Chain A
Amino acid sequence: DAGITQSPRHKVTETGTPVTLRCHQTENHRYMYWYRQDPGHGLRLIHYSYGVKDTDKGEVSDGYSVSRSKTEDFLLTLESATSSQTSVYFCAISESLAGNSDEQFFGPGTRLTVL
């Protein structure tokens, strides 16, 4: 998976609790992305990063925050988890910003269940 790991791989939590998902890359790629995948929706972009401490919102950013203090790590935080955030979360990386034809490489995913 192009040197991308996600942790944890599975998590069950309760409504109202904070949750942090971690994406770690060993490729030294500048751009990192967080997506969520839901049946019938494909993948939707939550947030992305274009460098250390540089992030921007995607299509479905409400209820999520991100941080990138090092090139290799991109954290996704659900500030107060809700059942609608039950999903599979994918991290992706690319050498250049999406739109420049460079492919994105995806991690193995994290399955999050909010009860």
Chain B
Amino acid sequence: AQSVTQLDSHVSVSEGTPVLLRCNYSSSYSPSLFWYVQHPNKGLQLLLKYTSAATLVKGINGFEAEFKKSETSFHLTKPSAHMSDAAEYFCVVSEGRAGGSQGNLIFGKGTKLSVKP
């Protein structure tokens, strides 16, 4: 069975400092992994996705994530936080067809990122 654990429910950083949002996953098959961002009172927007190509994935707004199979991790990073990055971030896992997918993405519980001036 697949699962996602976001290790921090809330992360606070100062503007201009690095961002690290941690995600560990569990999957029986080759997973696809995503990071979505949700700004207050908005829908979800895809930041980036991993689909078994390059292990370092670059996304929008300067974010990137590295797939580490040995650690079953897919942490999200950004070198320098901006005030507009304040939002909630969701790590998401999806199994391939071999996993008998029933059309389900498994969402982590979210990490709220606060950015201090």
Q: A residues near B, CB below 8 A?
A: 1, 4, 31, 33, 40-45, 48, 50, 56, 58-59, 90, 92, 97-101, 103-109
Contacts and interface: CB of A to CB of B under 8 A. Distances in A.
Interface residues of B, number: 27
Given A99-B97, A101-B94, A108-B43, A42 B51 contact: no
Contact of B43 (A1, A56, A58): A1
Contacts of A58: 102-104
Interface string B50-89: 0100000000000000000000000000000000000000
Contacts of A108: 42-43
A61 to B, nearest CB: 11
Nearest to B100: A99
Interface of B: 9, 32, 34, 36, 41-46, 49, 51, 90, 94-97, 99, 101-105, 107-110
Nearest to B34: A103
B89 to A, nearest CB: 11
Contacts of B95: 99
Contacts of B97: 97, 99-100
8 contacts: A41-B109, A58-B104, A97-B97, A98-B104, A101-B49, A101-B51, A103-B49, A106-B44
A97 B109 contact: no
Count chain B CB atoms within 10 A of each CB in A41, A48, A92, A104 and give the residue with the most: A104
A42 B101 contact: no
B76 to A, nearest CB: 15
A106 B90 CA distance: 13
Contacts of A48: 103-104
A109 B45 CA distance: 12
Contacts of B101: 97-99
